[in-house]
Amino acid sequence: MTTTVPTPAVRPANPNFSSGPCAKRPGWSLEALVNAALGRSHRAKIGKDKLALAIELTREVLQVPADYRIGIVPASDTGAVEMALWSLLGQRGVDMVAWESFGSGWVTDVVKQLKLADVRMIEAGYGKLPDLAQIDFDRDVVFTWNGTTSGVRVPNGDFIPADRQGLTICDATSAAFAQRLDFAKLDVVTFSWQKVLGGEGAHGMLILSPRAVERLETYKPAWPLPKIFRLTSGGKLIEGVFKGETINTPSMLCVEDYLDALQWAKGIGGLDALVARADANAAVIDRFVQASPWLGHLATDAASRSNTSVCLTIVDPEVTALDVKAQEAFAKAIVSALDKSGVAYDIGHYRDAPVGFRIWCGATVETSDLEALMPWLDWAFAQQKAALKAAA
């Protein structure tokens, strides 16, 4: 391509394309939080009512089965996953399925922190799914639905048998509200507010199937559990956790923000509309990549390509011929140019991922903003390619 590309005439109205915390819903302002229960106890009626409403709307928008428990827990999605791992694993062998940074992190926790003896790792590198047929569902299984740092997701839950003996523990933080989760195949689902609905950080959601509840009530781990992880008392589930009686103190300002996002989601048509928005956003980038001589998808198989955390690589031969540090510098220069121009913030690749870009396409991002961003990518690439030639 030519190294001279004119400055695009149209700019994204909202340049926030971070993969977490993600863009606020369209039209959001601080006025959306005026009814927050500030200065009030989360255990007062007003606090309990708002927390219970957050659970109720989560169930409605995500289409969670009526017999699944939904709880608000501390420490974002990480806290929710850790709570599940420490509370549920150890009764039987476990298959850890990973193909990017966060999935690999759960492997480390189970092997090095819990130190479980019977652990199998089923892994793949960035850009691909592992062989899901290798999973033994007579064992417990831990996996991410959508790999946030690789842009690779499971296409659906068909690989999980209905008659499984083990539990399926699914980190769905960058999938919930943008992809259809097959709850019948999932025993534990976790996510955080700051991903697809653009909420604020520090709060996680833990969704438990009846099978997961049965495990909690019949199995006691061999290790001590910190108070912040305890979901049972006297061998029975602490039901209050799943009615808004949180284990620790939540931010009522963040709760109000989550309620606002849920009401927006419900108002535009619920899960169907959210999925459609994310799909339309991802399609904008895919069309651009298909027409681009210098850009490619990190996720090699379109069937397992994310519609939220879309990860891209530079395929230009002159750039790929550089050493890794030079490639990183080239990509960072593009990210920096877009940031300084105010057209795209926080789109660099995750620190452990291959060199490239990660652009969030979740439901709170407007399709028109992604359409406006694409020509800027060409502009920034052309600038850096010209600088590369000049330095040669």
Q: Two tokens at 324? A: 């890794």
Average pLDDT over residues 315-329: 97
pLDDT tens digits, 243-271:
999 999 999 999 999 999 999 999 999 99
Number of structural domains the chain divides into: 2
User: What value, to the nearest 5°, has the Cα angle with vertex 59 and ends 24 and 185?
Assistant: 110
Q: Name the domain boundary from 208, 241, 267.
A: 267
User: What value, to the nearest 5°, has the Cα angle with vertex 273 and ends 349 and 154?
Assistant: 45
Measured on CA atoms in the order 222, 226, 232, 233, is the torsion positive or negative?
positive
Average pLDDT over residues 190-212: 97
- Supply the pLDDT for residue 4: 78
Block residue for tokens 């989360």: 42
Residue 73 shares a structural domain with residue 204: yes
DSSP state letters, 58-99: HHHHHT--TTSEEEEEESHHHHHHHHHHHHHTTSS-EEEEES
pLDDT tens digits, 142-189:
999 999 999 999 999 999 999 999 999 999 999 999 999 999 999 999
> Which pTM value belongs to this model?
0.97
Residue 162 shares a structural domain with residue 233: yes
Q: Cα separation of 108 and 81, whole Å?
A: 13
CATH number of the domain bearing residue 312:
3.90.1150.10
Residues 116/162, Cβ–Cβ less than 8 Å:
no
Residue 77 shares a structural domain with residue 124: yes
Look at residue 25 and tell me if it is in a domain.
no
Q: What is the CA radius of gyration of the chain?
A: 22
For residue 2, pLDDT beyond 50: no
Look at residue 281 and tell me if it is in a domain.
yes
Q: Cα separation of 147 and 33, whole Å?
A: 31
Average pLDDT over residues 212-229: 96
Q: Cα separation of 54 and 252, whole Å?
A: 11
Residue 291 shares a structural domain with residue 367: yes
For residue 190, pLDDT beyond 70: yes
List Cα–Cα distances, 276 to 4, 49, 78, 234, 282, in angstroms: 36, 31, 27, 45, 10
Look at residue 351 and tell me if it is in a domain.
yes
Residue 247 shares a structural domain with residue 289: no
